[in-house]
Structure 1
Amino acid sequence: MANIMQSSQEEQIVVFQLMEQVYGIDINSVYEIIRMESITKVPRSPHFVEGVIDLRGRIIPVIGLSVLFGLGQNERTQASRIIIVEVSGQTIGMIVDSVQEVLRIPVSAIEPPPPMVNGIDAAYLRGIAILEERLIILLDQNKILMEEEKDQLLQPNIAGNQA
């Protein structure tokens, strides 16, 4: 019984690095994490869309998270990964510098985000977790894309065949 109580007061997050900062996203929104692969460019796509990938017969739009957040283009390395997530009903890939671990974070360690963190608007964020002297910026998976960005991503030339 104690384990059930404890687990309801903890959240599991996937911890990743982007532009030398540590971020986290709820593990329940993550489908999988894949190595960088060839991304097909899509003409006239929004600035934050890197292109699309074919993931076992499914066309997935891939966004540059650092570009979306206005942090500039991140350098691709052997450690770079694509995190496949569901954002407001849309499956997308997010390019990150590296995936570090999966952590259990006590809910009590999560604080509301300030208006701006490292140049990122708080609208994208769920909170800030302070864990063992580490600061982890928690993304709100349903707000990673604003309505206008979701509309741009759903354009027929980018959305591909989601069926």
Structure 2
Amino acid sequence: MGEELKVIVFGIGKEEYGIEVDKVRTIERMMPITRVPKTPPFIKGVINLRGVVVPVLNLSGRFNLPESEVTEHTRIIVVAVNEMEVGFIVDTANDVIDINSDTIDTPPEIVGGIQAKYLDGIAKIGEDRLLIMLNLSEVLNKAEIVQLEQLEV
């Protein structure tokens, strides 16, 4: 029997994704983002979160998916990746669920246009619900982490 994982469920487009709760620092409503020059298009800039400068990127853009319009449901999920806090803009973040690690399968090579390296797996929830589990350390590769660390200056 696998271990129980607490997962925050969030939406990008029509897909549902999951991040383990222990990697999430906070979920914030959309706020003003300061643009930073010479960054990839999916890096939207930085926010001041309670006195800490946090880089923010749009996960849709990161996965080469069309970026959604900002709505009242849009959220910034602040996660800890390799000792650094980063904000992800997502369309919705509305659920915390428990899933059993046994229900997580290896992802196919490409899921909805997202390369498998960005994914930890696909969790089956109930009969007809799939949850795409993100691999945070791949979503931000090392070169991008170095670039984001330089934004904090």
Paired residues in the alignment total: 152
CA shift, 1:67, in A, is 0.5
1:159 corresponding residue in structure 2 = 152
Pick aligned residue for 1:111 from 105, 110, 117: 105
Amino acid across the alignment from 1:111: D
Q: Who is 1:73 aligned against?
A: 67
Q: Deviations over 1:94-149 (max 9, x none)?
A: 00000020010011111111111100011110000010120100001222211222
| Structure 1 counterpart of 2:24 | 30
1:54 positional shift: 0.4
2:13 partner letter: M
What are the within-5 Å matches in structure 2 for residues 34-73 of structure 1? 34-73=28-67
Structure 2 length normalisation: TM-score? 0.94
- Distance, in Å, in 2 between the alignment partners of 1:81 and 1:159 is 21
Which residue is equivalent to 1:144? 139
CA distance in 2, matches of 1:15, 1:95: 13
Over aligned residue pairs, what C-alpha RMSD do you find? Answer: 1.3
Partner SS for 1:142: helix
Bigger Rg, structure 1 or 2:
1
Displacement after TM superposition at 1:73 (Å): 1.7
Q: Bigger CA drift: 65-74 or 24-33?
A: 65-74
1:19 paired to 2:10 = no
Q: Which structure 1 residue ranges, 5 or more long, are not aligned?
A: 1-5
Q: What letter corresponds to residue 145 of structure 1 in structure 2? A: L
**Could you tell me which amino acid in structure 2 is paired with residue 55 of structure 1?**
L
- The one-letter code sitting in structure 2 at the alignment partner of 1:37 is M
The superposition leaves residues 60-92 of structure 1 with CA deviations (integer Å, 9 ceiling, x where unpaired) of: 000011101111222110000000001122110
| SS of residue matched to 1:73 | coil
Gaps (5+ residues) in structure 2? none
1:100 alignment counterpart: 94
Q: 2: CA distance between counterparts of 1:70 and 1:115?
A: 15
Partner of 1:91: 85
